A and B are shown apart, each in its own frame.
Chain A
Amino acid sequence: CSSEFLEKDPYGQLTQEQISKEENLESLIVGAYSILNGQIDNASNAFNSPASNWSFGDVVSDDAYKGGGGTGDQNNIHQMEIFSTNPSLIDIERKWKALYEGVRRTNIAIGILNETEDISSDLKQQRLAEMKFLRGHFYFELKKIYNRIPFLDENATSLTDFKVSNTELSNEQVWGKIETDFNDAYAILPATQSQKGRPTKYAAMAYLAKVYLFQGKWDQVLTSTEDVMLNGGYSLMDNFEHVFLPENDNSPEIVFSVQQSINDGNPSNYNGSIGDRLLAPGGPRYSAYGFLRPTQNLVNAYKTNSAGLPSMDNSELTMSDNVDPRIDFTLGRPGIPYKDLGILYQADWARDLATYGPYGPKKRIVSANSPHHLTVWPYVSALNYYIIRYADVLLWRAEALIHTDDIEGARTIINNIRKRARDGNKVMTLDGSSTAANYFIEEYPAFADANEAMTALRMERRLEFAHEGHRFFDLVRWGIAEQVINTYVAAEKEIRPYLNGVNFINGKHEYFPIPQSQVDLGGTDEGGNPLITQNTGY
């Protein structure tokens, strides 16, 4: 009797056999999607592993300062901002953990899907394709952030299988595996999905285009973007501002996104934009964590010349200057109405003004009047984070066209993007009588050569995608990170003295370090040497 007495089974837990049933498998699939937003555990610091990459993609670029209550507030992100990143920083580890959690959840789902016979073959193939899409995404993120990454597939089932070298596969082999996942997904996925959170065939092709883009495989970028443009059914919304309304977060402009929800019955609203919870801009209607603050350099970038084109000189923007209208949908500047709140953004909304200046984030902040913004802690929203939106696909194609000597084709695309900014709605003064600033933006009449086209393309990406987590990775893949960041620092440190001494080192800072804990705990080879090789320079 005592042997029975000593058997206690857990409550609320499914066995391997039960999970293989169709209805439970569907929940296992949902569990894999759930990790897309970077919330990996029960803790409230998903801001160390944000899906939006606001720290990894924007703060370390010329687009944003860390912000917050001083350089000591989230000092770890400050260390990243001043390129003093070390392998022990919590963000370095938690971002890695979040992405490998995605790898693990998708691998588990793939493993069980492969085994199960309790689900129809079509559904099985489709869910397998979805999981491969997700796995491709997680590896893509790992690759662009950490470069030298260990690779695990669904055959890595036990903890000992997780001891893998990060140098065993060549660069091309890792990219090849990512391509394979997206190709596999593309082959199976349907052209449309009734459940908007699932990727479509063309989302897979679009992601594949991005994978090619990062490898400079321009011909493949052209063929894949062409497929997406012809068959994907995507289009640009009429108004730039409306792209970032939660109501439109599965609009035809959105190719693939992290689905966020609030007030959904789950504790702490961790299904909202939890990785961005420190971005609340302050002022009378928002909490004032005050992170992610536009740089003066970014503000200046929106200045346009008399032809309505980017002025490119990065001189200080004044209120009388012409500006690209996207500036006031992207960032909060004093004297400009903030969203639909009926009030002007003020310098005193900004936390620690002396250190981080007067500007605040705006593009991905949801109106405090919106039911999709949470007015209570953790102040998150239901606005999805866009991993790929259609404008992105278009500008990838434009970039590939420039590389393949079709600068006119590129100009057409860039101008399409600018046309939307020109023709769409503008921020108006509070009384609605006039535009809030001198908005003036025009199409490029011509590009003299490929260099000019590339300069325009790069600027257009910056203006269109500011604070969407892409800037740093663009600079790295363009090979201009050192030049752009060190130039930016040289000027910016005059007003932001904490940037004194900041130096981007070519060959080191393009990638973040491998977490020290991965090096320490990642296992050793037969010769007793660590399986994990740290990235260059760390």
Chain B
Amino acid sequence: SNSNFTRTALELNNEPIEEFRVYPSKNQQIVVTGLVTDNTGTPLSGANIVEKGTTNGVIADFDGNFSIIVRSEDPILVISFIGFITKEQPVAGLDKLNIVLQEDSAKLDEVIVTGYTSERKSDLTGAVSIVKIDEMTDQPLGSVNEIVQGRSAGVEVLSSNSPGGNAAIRIRGFSTIRNNDPLYVIDGVPTTTGINLINPNDIESLQVLKDASSASIYGSRAANGVVVITTKKGQDGKVKIAYDGYAGAMTVVKLPRLASAAQYGEGLWQAFANDGITPSNDIYGSGSTPVIPAFLDAQNTIPSANTDWLGALFNTALVTSHNISFSSGNEASNSFFSVGYYKQDGVLKDTGFDRYTFRANTNFKLGSKVTVGENFSVSFSNNTDVNTNSLLGSPIYGAFLMPSIAPIYNINGEFTGYPLDDIQNPLGALTRNRNNEDKTLRLFGNVFAEIQLAKGLKFKTNYGLTISNFSGTNFNPTFTEPNVQRVLADLTKSEQNLLEWTFTNTLNYDTTFNDKHNLNLLGGYESIESSLETLSAFRQGFPGNDPNFQVLNAGDSGTQQNTNMKFESSLVSYFGKANYSYDDRYLASYTIRRDGTSKLANNKWGTFSAASLGWKISNEAFYKSELVNSLKLRFGWGQNGNQDIPPYVTSSGYFSNAFNSNYAIDGAQNSVFNGYIISRNSNPDLKWETTEQYNIGIDLGIMTNRLDFTLDYFSKTTEDLLLERQLAPISGGTNSSVWDNVGAMNNKGFELGANYRNDYDRELQFSAGLNMSVIRNELTSLKEGVDFVGIDAVTLHSNNFDQEVSRTAVGQPIASFYGWVADGIFQDQSEIDAHSFQNASTSPGDIRFKDINNDNVIDDKDRAFIGNPHPDLSLNLNLNFEYKNFDLTAFFRSSFGNDVYDLTRYYSDFYNLSSYNKHSRIADAWTPSNTGSSIPRLSLNDPNNNIRPSSYYVKDGTFVKLQTLQLGYNFNPQLIENFSLSKFRLYLNLQNVFTITGYDGIDPEIGLQNYSSDDRNLDIGVDRAIYPPSRTVTLGLNIAF
């Protein structure tokens, strides 16, 4: 059950087919024709027919027919087809054969890569999701995340939607507060970076190791689950060439309708009236009704308009992908080589992503005992992106803020804006950013050697290397708009260099004794060292805004600023694993791993173990069920360690911080003295965070495995949570936290995976895959004196404009929404008088907030948990139909019960931020004659503080999406074989076909605010105007020679 893990599932399942050659005629030749079908009579197009003992072979055509010339004396044909039992058929004088192949009931026996070894799927005792790559390679998918999304129970993908943008995979919820990203293991090399630089076409297989018993062999970094990726290898046989390409057009699906120039003015006048203020506005005048002037400025340069600012930011964007691969192999070596190009323009103007990938995988067999090889990839990407999902600095939110009356251009054709606010023209901002490219070059690969030392005993040594260089350019040109200008252009260049190596040595022994005992033992040693260096430089004062001035030397050297930092960390691990099976009925596995990390001081070492048991009930003699042909129970328990914290937090010293430690002690106006401050509050006693997980699973195969079910229940508890704990503010503002082991978090849930496939008649084939998960996350304890984890003020300011809307608190799921409970609208003064005191000037039309602590006054003690961003249930469904040469795929994703905090309403619904545009919904705000409204009365003064964080902002984000609808057409083999083609397929693909949701923002799937900060998991589901998902129409082509 073990194998050299550079060989793949497909190779192992698929008997090597030698080159098909037509032999010169000898003395005898018989033409044999025949038909290959399954037991329902469905023709098996593509079945292999080989004359036994020769390399003479043919392939059955689309109707299952074949014709072969045989020359042997007693010719025997070997007929094989993937998923069916290979059959030997003597020709015995027949010239017309009807061959019926039986489906292989051991179809589950795919061999999959799990730990440092591989296992038969049927022998798995842990919770492993196998993503069916072959179902997806014929689809236009740009990244690993798109492959994983919705394909596996318990796996959630959070995405930024931007081209080449970030995404985060969450496996079985959030096991820790900080970094919940899984570990990726690519061809045996662990990595956590550069996932969007992987060419999806290069992926042969992808497994998600979800529970501790399957993942724990990866020890220290596996607590969040492991994604195991194996890239394509050369296959024995002649040179194969494949081309996969597509081109598509993307458009924005849905944008909110913001207030028109007239609606904004009418709302403003209504607010004046509600506040008892005589209307007066520099733009709309001071009459009894707002008047839209011809020009917004006294100089008559800014004509009034009715601009759809959001619509102005987006355009139809193109996506293209070309991928070509070559592979071949023979007894001595095999090789695979691919080049890929992917280009995605942003639907948001002037954004985009290009990716160039190159991969070479080869291996050589030196004699029968030694294999050496390498897997190597080079990726280069070029990304023009902007900050989104933020109240400050996002052009998308800028378009929410810019009043519609402002035109895009002034009379001179220059970008302009609204004279009363401080927002940069968002289209101008995008245009100014268009040359700001972030480039990443990444080399990733490994070399390995495997030696068979004795029968069943193999030694393997593997050296993996990641070298990655990020190079960013950020040029801010000069411009002048009303109230916003940049008089000096500035340029920041930044570099990040990562060097990481992994050296792994394993010894693996596999034996079977007394026919029934199968034992596999693995022992290993691994060391990892990682070094990251960052460098940035800044100047301002450039002679012009032309791209050819965008080098630092063109700027004013007197303004230069630079930074440089370097971080190193290392890990050492010893591990062992034993897999035992008895008579293919009882399975047991045990893993132990001891890890040491440079990131900890007094507690460097942690030991983690896992054990699992499996029982293949259907292999028992007493088992009789015909319907449920395979039945397996699994039980697993295990621990994983986590040490994913920034380096050095266990040691404190003194350093200079260019933002807050320098000072002009000599009174100078333009220079400072270097200052030192303490670097951090260190905690040398910090220790490993440990995640302990139980998993109970059942696997069922029904109707000869046409229908299979996998059901899992899990509970995982993380103890000694690693967290940068906030200290009482008396410890100061610069170092107001300390890394500590603070508490515990629990995730529990059910996962169901079901697959159905039935070839029920000759022409129409149907398969369906469904997965479902229910996960409950809860922070179960924190350290004494701490009852919640908040978001630090820096983040709150730049992302939320200082609104605290989420808290991670004991007894609640991570990142729960927090604020006052909006309990309807006051309809008259008597209701206000009867309610707890809110404000002396609270008026009908204001929001009634719940008096949580019943002290008759509404204050900050009346805040509560008001929503949960996590779904109650995730359900995904994939349907495939094949009819004659056509194939049709529909893929639905859905999420139920997840809340969204619609923070876009902060500016959009309230006139106490009066100079910014509003949402068109304010036209329906509460007035004495429109009392049914749920939108509070408009007010410039907002004495009731309606704008405060409350459940007014919390909306249901339940949705059902038709994510993919695809129609493909395979040309008949007979038609294309004249062109030496073995495959020619065209398809039309639609992404994001429709979304059913009650949420009225851009999209209910919010993703994270960002994908790299320490507290990125603390404000999930807050909508600050996200990058909209796009609807994509793609035409694709798959060719194989």
In the complex, A94 Cα to B840 Cα: how many Å?
A: 28
> Looking at the complex, which one of B674, B727, B914 makes contact with A69 (CB distance below 8 Å)?
B914
B797 at interface by CB-CB < 8 Å: yes
Check if B793 sits within 8 Å of A94, measured CB to CB. Answer: yes
* Contact (Cβ within 8 A) A197 B664: yes
Residue ID in chain A nearest B281 by CB atoms: A354
- The answer for the CA separation of A79 and B949 in the assembled complex, in Å, is 14
Chain A contacts for B237, CB-based, 8 A: none
CB atoms of B678 and A45 under 8 A apart: no
Residues of B contacting A7 with CB < 8 Å?
Answer: 598
- Contact call B280/A353, Cβ cutoff below 8 A: yes
Task: Decide yes or no: A259 and B664 within 8 Å by CB, A27-B673, A162-B730 being known contacts.
Answer: yes
Q: Does A288 contact B (CB under 8 A)?
A: yes
**B289 on the A face (CB < 8 A):** no
Contact with B along A128-155 (1 / 0, CB 8 A): 0000000000000000000000101000
The contact of B558 among A24, A263, A517, by CB within 8 Å, is A263
Q: Answer yes or no: B728 CB below 8 A from chain A CBs.
A: yes
Cβ-defined contact, A265 with B671, below 8 A: yes
Contact A13 B654 (CB under 8 A): yes
Prevailing SS type, chain A contact patch: loop
Do the beta carbons of B670 and A262 come within 8 Å of each other? yes
Query: Given the complex of chains A and B, what is the CA–CA distance between A459 and B430 in angstroms?
Result: 52
Does the CB pair A70–B913 fall under 8 Å? yes
Q: Do the beta carbons of A90 and B659 come within 8 Å of each other? A: no
Contact digits for A11-53, partner B, Cβ 8 Å, 1 yes 0 no: 1111110110000101111111111100111111100110000
The reply to whether B654 and A19 form a contact with Cβ atoms under 8 Å apart is: yes
Specify which chain A residues have a CB less than 8 angstroms from the CB of B911 in the assembled complex: 70
| CB pair A27 B598 closer than 8 Å | no
Which of B733-741, B878-886, B924-932 binds A? B733-741
Are the CB atoms of B727 and A159 closer together than 8 Å? yes
B787 within 8 Å of A (CB atoms): yes
**Measured between alpha carbons, how far is A261 from B675 in the docked complex, in Å?**
14
Contact in complex: A44, B797 (CB < 8 Å): yes
Report yes or no: A40 in contact with B671, Cβ–Cβ below 8 A.
no
Q: In this assembly, does B665 line the interface, its C-beta being within 8 Å of a C-beta of chain A?
A: yes
Give the one of A34, A96, A351, A372 with max B CB within 10 A.
A34
In the complex, whether A396 has a CB less than 8 A from a CB of chain B is no
Check B913 against A14 for contact (C-beta < 8 Å). no
How many whole Å from A538's CB to the nearest CB in chain B? 9
On whether the beta carbons of A375 and B736 are closer than 8 Å, the reply is: no
A244 to B807 CA separation, bound complex (whole angstroms): 44
Asked whether any CB of chain B lies closer than 8 Å to the CB of A361, the reply is no
Check B913–A266 contact: CB distance below 8 A. no
Question: How far does the Cβ of A322 sit from chain B's closest Cβ, in whole Å?
Answer: 29
Cβ-defined partner of B941 (8 Å) among A26, A287, A498 = A498
Contact A354 B654 (CB under 8 A): no
Q: Which of A11, A73, A195 makes the CB contact (< 8 A) with B667?
A: A195
Q: CA separation between A203 and B235, bound complex, in Å?
A: 84
> Is there an interface contact between A497 and B941, defined as CB atoms closer than 8 Å?
yes
- Minimum Cβ distance to chain A for residue B103 (Å): 52
Residues of A contacting B648 with CB < 8 Å? 8-10, 13
Q: How far is the CA of A271 from the CA of B660 in the complex (A)?
A: 8
B421 contacts A69, C-beta separation under 8 Å? yes
> Is there a chain B Cβ closer than 8 Å to A164's Cβ?
yes
Instruction: Check A498–B734 contact: CB distance below 8 A.
Output: no
Q: Is B794 in contact with A503, judged by CB distance below 8 angstroms?
A: no
Given the known interface contacts A101-B733, A503-B840, A517-B726, the answer about A351 and B420 at a Cβ–Cβ threshold of 8 Å is: yes
B647 within 8 A of A: yes
Q: A2-B572, A14-B653 known; A521 and B659 CB under 8 Å?
A: no
Complex contact B940–A14 (CB within 8 A): no
Q: With A and B bound together, what is the CA distance between A74 and B906 in angstroms?
A: 12
Look across to chain B and name the residue whose beta carbon is closest to the beta carbon of A36. Answer: B663
Complex contact A11–B280 (CB within 8 A): no
Question: Known contacts A41-B733, A521-B728; is A271 also within 8 Å of B663 by CB?
Answer: yes
| Chain B residues, CB < 8 A from A348 | 282, 419
Beta-carbon contact of B677 and A497 below 8 Å: no
| Residue pair A69, B422 in contact (C-beta under 8 Å) | yes
* CB–CB A159/B730 < 8 A: no
In the bound complex, do residue B915 and residue A69 qualify as a contact, i.e. CB atoms below 8 Å apart? Answer: yes
Interface assignment of A523: CB less than 8 Å from any CB of chain B: yes
The chain A residue sitting closest to B573, CB to CB, is A2
Distance between Cα atoms of A45 and B799 in the complex (Å): 12
Q: Are A34 and B913 in contact (CB under 8 A)?
A: no
State whether A6 touches B598 (Cβ < 8 A).
yes
Q: Are B678 and A108 in contact (CB under 8 A)?
A: yes
Q: Is the CB of B596 within 8 A of A351?
A: no
Which listed residue, B674, B860, B947, touches A72 by the CB 8 Å rule?
A: B947
Interface residue ranges, A against B (CB under 8 Å): 2, 5-16, 18-19, 24, 26-36, 39-45, 48-49, 69-76, 79, 82, 84, 86-88, 90, 93-94, 96-98, 100-105, 108, 150, 152, 159, 162-164, 194-198, 246, 249-250, 259-268, 270-271, 282, 287-289, 348, 351-355, 371-372, 375-377, 382, 497-498, 500-501, 503, 515-518, 520-524
Other A-B contacts than A18-B654, A71-B942, 19 sampled, CB-CB below 8 A, are: A8-B570, A27-B676, A30-B673, A33-B675, A34-B677, A41-B733, A41-B734, A75-B945, A75-B947, A86-B860, A88-B804, A97-B733, A105-B677, A194-B666, A263-B559, A263-B670, A266-B659, A354-B281, A500-B941
Taking Cβ atoms with an 8 Å cutoff, the residues of B that contact A are 272, 275-277, 279-282, 419-422, 483-488, 490, 527, 529, 538, 540, 558-561, 563, 565-570, 572, 596-598, 604, 647-648, 651, 653-679, 681, 726-734, 736, 738, 785-787, 793-794, 796-798, 802, 804, 839-841, 859-860, 906, 910-916, 940-943, 945, 947-948
23 contacts between A and B (CB under 8 A): A8-B569, A10-B653, A14-B653, A30-B674, A34-B663, A70-B911, A73-B913, A104-B731, A197-B663, A246-B669, A259-B667, A260-B669, A264-B668, A264-B671, A266-B561, A266-B658, A271-B662, A287-B484, A348-B419, A351-B421, A354-B914, A498-B275, A520-B785
- Which 8 A-B residue pairings sit nearest by Cβ, starting from the closest? A40-B733, A501-B840, A196-B667, A97-B733, A31-B675, A101-B732, A498-B941, A72-B912
